[in-house]
């Protein structure tokens, strides 16, 4: 059996004398390559309050032999992810989402767009507390499956938020997470 690269128990972490640095949930960005519109020809970084990391799995294939059953990996899939974005009046977040969504469904004629036009690439980038990149996932075949434009309420002073559900085909870790464990360098 393969040996684990490091012992990550509480005692081990305490003995590292301050060398342990957790990945914070707040240190991230989400970039999208929307292209095709002069206003969004380059990658845009959405003003996100709450993001997601890929949730991936494989179906299982059950194999029978004599009195035993074993399982092997089947088809790969990822779950859709939801972004909660700030609705900032003088930032193009709502406009970028509306443009991208219009490539999926045209409100004026009721037609569904072509996948080659609405499926885009993006990245989820994680940073350390001092700003250096720690992990990146490239997202392929992403499209806006659903948009909730927010809630209006005269009795509230809360900011409006846009919930964007992104369906995507693949999530590829740019720096494989397992390969960086115990490497002694930047992880």
Alpha-carbon gap, residue 104 to 81, rounded angstroms? 17
Q: Write down the pTM of the prediction.
A: 0.77
Give residue-wise pLDDT tens across range 116-141.
999 999 999 888 888 788 889 999 99
- Give pLDDT tens digits for 82-119: 999 888 888 778 888 999 999 999 999 999 999 999 99
CATH superfamily of 28-58+69-178: Hcp1-like (2.30.110.20)
CA 87, 91, 95, 101 torsion: positive or negative? Answer: negative
């Amino acid at each position: 059996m393969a040996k684990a690269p490091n012992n990550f128990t509480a005692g081990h972490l305490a003995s590292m004398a301050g060398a342990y640095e957790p990945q914070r949930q707040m240190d991230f960005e989400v970039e999208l390559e929307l292209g095709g519109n002069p206003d969004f020809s380059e990658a845009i970084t959405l003003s996100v309050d709450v993001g997601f990391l890929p949730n991936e799995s494989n179906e299982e294939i059950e194999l029978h032999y004599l009195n035993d059953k074993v399982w092997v990996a089947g088809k790969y899939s990822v779950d859709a992810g939801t972004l909660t974005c700030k609705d900032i009046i003088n930032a193009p977040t709502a406009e970028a989402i509306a443009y991208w969504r219009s490539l999926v469904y045209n409100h004026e004629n009721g037609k569904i767009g072509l996948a080659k036009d609405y499926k885009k690439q993006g990245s989820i980038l994680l940073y350390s507390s001092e700003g250096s990149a720690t992990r990146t996932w490239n997202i392929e075949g992403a499209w806006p499956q659903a948009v909730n434009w927010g809630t209006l309420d005269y009795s509230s002073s809360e900011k409006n938020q846009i919930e964007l559900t992104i369906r995507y085909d693949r999530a590829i870790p740019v720096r494989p997470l397992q390969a960086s464990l115990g490497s002694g360098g930047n992880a």
